[in-house]
Each structure stands twice: as C-alpha cells, then as structure tokens.
Chains A and B, each alone.
Chain A
C-alpha cells in the first residue's frame, strides 16, 4: 500500500541555519503531496503542497519540490527561526488507492530551533 517515510527527529538547529527534512513516498497512482505543520497545542496546518511532478510548493520561506524520479518531497528552508519549532508531517493523497478523501501521513519530524 501507499506510504510516506520521513527522517527521524528531533532535528535541532541554531537560528538562521539551513533546514532539510527528507520525505520519500510510495504510491500506486499519481499522488498529490503535502507538508503539514503542528505547532505546540495547535491543530495541523497545511504548510505547502504540490500536485504534479516538478511542481514547487512554497510558503513562509519553506519550499519543497515534487520529484517523481526519486519519489521525494524534501522540505527546505534557508534560514530557520525559533518560531519554526514544531512537528512537520509529510503526507500524500492518492486518487488510485485512497481517493481524494484520504491523507496518508508520515510519522512526523520534530524541529527544535535554538536562539
């Protein structure tokens, strides 16, 4: 079945450091890919998305590019801030196996940014 694999956390960085969180996926069909973020005490929020190969999703300085050849959707940010400390989830929806109503999530990667 479809699945999403993320790098294990926690990831600990100093402010202004470069961030990469790796995400790879397996899917039956041609999925849409997402990054969600969960700040402490809050619900999951959509951070960015990409719906076809080579699309780049971006938001709040974060970027991720849909790489079909490597089945990857790595999250990057050039300069992290303390306020970026949160748990980040990579997810997909696959119209073939799960339909558009079901998201499949990775296990999440906790990011801690220190001043």
Chain B
C-alpha cells in the first residue's frame, strides 16, 4: 500500500484480555516504531526495530507489553492482561533509513489503533 497501515482501527477489550495490534509498514522500510498516545497527550515512544532486530524497547511500560517483527516487515504489538491504563491510541511509524541522524527526518505514521479497555 501507499502508507503505513494499522489494524484494527478500533479495539475494545475487557480488562484482563490479551490484544494484538498489527502494523504494515511501507514496503522496504528498514525502521519501525511503536508509540503510545494517551488522550490529550503527545505520542510516547515504546519500541524500535531495525529490520527484524528490536534495538530499543526502553519505552515499553511493563512486561505485559511485547512487540515483534519476525521477518523484518509486519510488526505486532501484543498487550497481555490489559488494564484500563492501557487505553490509548497506538501509533506505528516506519522509516526508509536505519539508525542515523536522518532517521527521524523521513518518518511515516499510520492512523493508529484506538484501544479501549473496559
């Protein structure tokens, strides 16, 4: 596709359920990022992949959050035993470049998955 695609667009989960959020980056993009955006706030970094390698997961808020990108393209963010505080929009972004100064200069964001935990 032409842009970064995320699915589902909306997800409602009961507290304690596991959820999986999918990101299809732009074809050929080396770098992939996940951000969490709480209501009325700016996005906060969760994790970064360069191809299939997860190089930075310092932003994951707890061990209930897990991300993977096994073949260096599609990525999945999994949240286990969801809590109400996990309610947010989860944004995926991709970039054609690797870890250098220009990395953030060509960042393409998806429209996000809005997760509501009841």
Min Cβ gap B55→A in Å is: 7
Of all chain A residues, the one with the shortest Cβ separation from B104 is A93
- Which of A39-47, A67-75, A78-86 is near enough to bind chain B? A39-47
Q: Is the interface of A mostly helix, strand, loop or mixed?
A: loop
Q: Is B77 an interface residue, CB under 8 A from the partner?
A: no
Return chain B residues, CB-CB under 8 Å to A18. Answer: none
Chain A interface residue count, Cβ-Cβ cutoff 8 angstroms: 26
| Total B residues in contact with A, Cβ cutoff 8 Å | 31
Q: Does A25 contact B (CB under 8 A)?
A: no
CB of B111 within 8 Å of the partner chain: yes
| Cα–Cα distance between A103 and B104 once the two chains are bound (Å) | 8
**B43 & A41 in contact (Cβ 8 Å cutoff):** no
Residue A66, interface by CB 8 Å: no
Asked whether any CB of chain B lies closer than 8 Å to the CB of A102, the reply is yes
Residue of A nearest to B33 (CB): A101
Contact assessment for A99 and B99 in the assembled complex, using a CB-CB cutoff below 8 Å: yes
